[in-house]
């Protein structure tokens, strides 16, 4: 397996990343365990999920599932492989029916992070990605929330997913103003 730096960090990840969007929906738990075991065996050390994964994904979904993270969490607990992988997950999508159960407000970022940590049965998320751009929440608020979670040791790195280039540039500019590392990676569609 070849390893490369994750974005502009010193963290080494396998060139192949195990995506877990179908765990819990198209892939049952035992098969997911076999896939994760095989990934580790072949040198894959980078696993990616999202709070919303585990059921059919649609742009207008009422709320997410959390099942993929739960399966990964049970596998991590059973296998003892937490320190063998770089664990990535995402937040943004609706995870409840309330008005604050979605998007990138500080309120939702904090709650989404705590919920993901609980489902994943871990004390940290190595790469926490914003699943989509939120044009209604100021970057100052988003970075303040992320910075606090990094300071608390719950997150190590922050990334984006499905961002346009100009959104990445804006996010980086605001992070730089706060003397933060900012986004380290972009997971494009």
Q: Catalytic site residues? A: 53
Q: Is 25 exposed, middle or buried (0-12, 13-18, 19+ CB in 10 A)?
A: middle
Task: Please count the CA atoms within 13 angstroms of the CA of 123 that sit on its side-chain side.
Answer: 3
What is the sign of the dihedral through the CA atoms of 145, 147, 148 and 149? positive
Task: Please count the CA atoms within 13 angstroms of the CA of 129 that sit on its side-chain side.
Answer: 25
Q: Are strands 155-161 and 12-14 parallel, antiparallel or unpaired?
A: unpaired
**Separation of alpha carbons 109 and 142, rounded Å:** 8
- Check residue 129 and give left, alpha or beta (phi > 0: left; psi -120 to 50: alpha): beta
């Amino acid at each position: 397996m070849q390893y490369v730096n994750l974005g502009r960090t010193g963290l080494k990840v396998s060139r192949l990343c195990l995506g877990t969007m179908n765990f819990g929906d198209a892939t049952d738990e035992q098969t997911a365990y076999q896939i994760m075991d095989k990934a580790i065996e072949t040198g894959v050390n980078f696993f990616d999920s999202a709070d919303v994964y585990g059921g059919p994904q649609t742009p207008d979904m009422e709320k997410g599932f959390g099942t993929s993270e739960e399966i990964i969490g049970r596998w991590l607990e059973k296998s003892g492989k937490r320190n063998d992988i770089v664990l990535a997950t995402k937040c943004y999508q609706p995870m409840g029916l309330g008005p604050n159960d979605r998007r990138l407000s500080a309120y939702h970022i904090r709650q989404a992070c705590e919920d993901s940590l609980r489902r994943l049965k871990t004390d940290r998320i190595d790469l926490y990605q914003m699943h989509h751009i939120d044009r209604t929440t100021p970057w100052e608020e988003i970075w303040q929330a992320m910075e606090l979670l990094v300071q608390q040791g719950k997150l190590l790195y922050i990334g984006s997913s499905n961002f346009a280039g100009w959104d990445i540039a804006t996010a980086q500019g605001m992070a730089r103003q706060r003397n933060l590392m900012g986004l380290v990676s972009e997971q494009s569609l």
